[in-house]
Amino acid sequence: MSDPLHVELVAADRVVWSGDASMVVARTAEGEVGILADHAPLLSLMVPGVVEVRTGGGETTRAAVDSGFLSVAGNRVSILAEQAVLASDIDAAKASKDLEDAEKGDLEDEAALGELRRARAWVLATERS
Amino acid sequence: MVASIREYRAKIKSTEATKKITRAMELIAASRVIRAQQQAAAAAPYARELTRAVSALATYSRVDHPITTEPENPTRAAVLVVTSDRGLAGAYSASVLKEAERLVEKLRTEGKEALLYVTGRKGVAYYKFRQRTLEDSWTGISDRPQYADARALGDALVGSFLTEDGGADEVHVVFTRFRSMLVQTPDVIRLMPLQVVEGEDKPESGEALPLYEFEPSASEVLDQLLPRYVYSRIFFCLMQAAASELASRQRAMKAATDNAQELILHYTRIANQARQAGITQEISEIVGGANALADANAGSE
């Protein structure tokens, strides 16, 4: 059976992953969502986190994204993020160091907080895979 | 005479060195243009998807956002001028700056004060020399722009646009559009207030947009979406400008290489003439001397 969903995971400067899948799991502002075939059209804000793309064959591709958008329409899923990296391309050591640095930062500051969330998502992506 | 041959030889040598440099710069620019084009192509999907999302919002919910509303009487306009960091690119920066001056003049006749935002050392130097105040400037990104750079620029511009007092009422971008390797033209776009569903790749008119559900709400999605749309458009401008700069540098360097080659030919010709003249003179001196000796000997015998 061919996979029903066409998924495009797009970062600001390149296409990170594109292909067919049976299910997409992402973290939106409202919580985790799983997108299956024939999902209603949706445009949703994502928070930094891990996106999982599962294919019918049982393979799972994970990627870390910073905040962005999830748009679903007619079995087309586009995930737009300013930064997105496949879990397999993340340097685990660097990611955890980034997280440590970010934790030391000033957490009142919006930018530092954003960086912390991003770093956490990156580490999470490496841990799960 | 001998001295002048040496002079020309030295000139030929230095021109050859110059030619090597300009030739190398031409080749570097040529390979970077291709990379810049690839980068632009790689960023296209993001811009396309973002445009789709914005048009979906615009179609199915009321787009009522400060970024898209026209201010009632605009008095200040921000102008982002995208120039290069380095010279040796022909008239690239000069023509962007000329276009920018024209825009500033036009804004002034409309009664709007121009706030200048400049990228590229050439532009910064141009305005510094004329002692014009710059609101902000960025350097070191002109030939290889990253998304983060576009974001920083976008933040400043959106910030200024959303400021009620003392901020800009509209935002324009002056950059160079890359039409082909041979043609790059300076161009002006009005970035904000945003006209939704415009731009490079709007969805085809026949394509029906689905009825979206928005999470958490349409207005919150809009709040996030519109600034990114602006960043993505700035990124697009920066990439176009980078490709144009490199193409224009390649052309300028090709012209320089050709000119150097012509100069070398010219100097070689003069040097050869001088050498030939020297030889001819030596021969005539020897012949003349021999004749004189022969005459003297004949006279004495």
- Please indicate, yes or no, whether residues A80 and A108 belong to a single structural domain of this protein: no
Min distance B157 CA to chain A CA atoms (Å): 18
- Please indicate, yes or no, whether residues A11 and A70 belong to a single structural domain of this protein: yes
Q: Write a three-state SS string for B82-149.
A: ECCCCCCECEHHHHHHHHHHHHHHHHHHCCCEEEEEEECHHHHHHHHHCCCCEEEEECCCCCCCCHHH
- Please indicate, yes or no, whether residues A39 and A95 belong to a single structural domain of this protein: no
What does the pLDDT read at residue B208?
56
- The pLDDT tens digits of the residues spanning B213-257 come to 887 887 888 888 888 889 999 999 999 999 999 999 999 999 999
Q: Are A35 and A24 in contact (CB under 8 A)?
A: yes
Please tell me if residue A32 touches chain B, with a CB cutoff of 8 Å. Answer: no
Give me the domains of chain B, ranges plus CATH numbers. Answer: 27-204+211-253 (3.40.1380.10)
Please choose, from the candidates A33, A39, A32, the residue with its C-alpha nearest in 3D space to the C-alpha of residue A5: A39
DSSP class per residue in chain A: ---SEEEEEEETTEEEEEEEESEEEEEETTEEEEE-TTPPPEEEEE-SEEEEEE-TTS-EEEEEE-SEEEEEETTEEEEEESSEEEGGGS-HHHHHHHHHHHHHS-TTSHHHHHHHHHHHHHHHHHHH-
Please tell me if residue A43 touches chain B, with a CB cutoff of 8 Å. Answer: yes
Cβ distance A42 to B213 less than 8 Å, yes or no, reads: yes
Q: CA-to-CA distance for A118 and A103, rounded, in angstroms? A: 11
Asked whether this complex has an ipTM greater than 0.85, the answer is no
CATH number of the domain where residue A77 is located? 2.60.15.10
Cβ distance B213 to A28 less than 8 Å, yes or no, reads: no
Residue range(s) defining the domain that contains residue A107: 91-128
Residue of B49, B230, B236 for testing the chain A interface, max A β-carbons within 10 Å: B49
* Minimum-distance CB partner of B49 among A10, A13, A40: A10
- The pLDDT tens digits of the residues spanning B49-101 come to 888 888 777 766 666 778 877 888 888 899 999 999 988 888 999 999 999 99
* Minimum-distance CB partner of B215 among A29, A67, A74: A29
Please tell me if residue A44 touches chain B, with a CB cutoff of 8 Å. Answer: yes
Mutual angle of helices B218-300 and B92-109, in 10-degree steps: 130
Q: Which of A50-64, B73-87, B205-219 has the highest mean pLDDT?
A: B73-87
Q: pLDDT-derived band of residue B206, with 50, 70 and 90 as boundaries?
A: low
Cβ distance B49 to A78 less than 8 Å, yes or no, reads: yes
What would the two tokens of residue A12 be?
């600001």
Is pLDDT at B200 greater than 50 in this prediction?
no
- The pLDDT tens digits of the residues spanning A5-20 come to 899 999 988 889 888 9
Min distance A125 CA to chain B CA atoms (Å): 22
Please choose, from the candidates B278, B36, B46, the residue with its C-alpha nearest in 3D space to the C-alpha of residue A16: B46
| Distance, CA of B115 to chain centre | 21
- Please indicate, yes or no, whether residues A115 and A78 belong to a single structural domain of this protein: no
Domain count within chain A: 2
| pTM of the predicted structure, to 2 decimals | 0.84
Cβ distance B46 to A80 less than 8 Å, yes or no, reads: yes
- Please indicate, yes or no, whether residues A68 and A15 belong to a single structural domain of this protein: yes
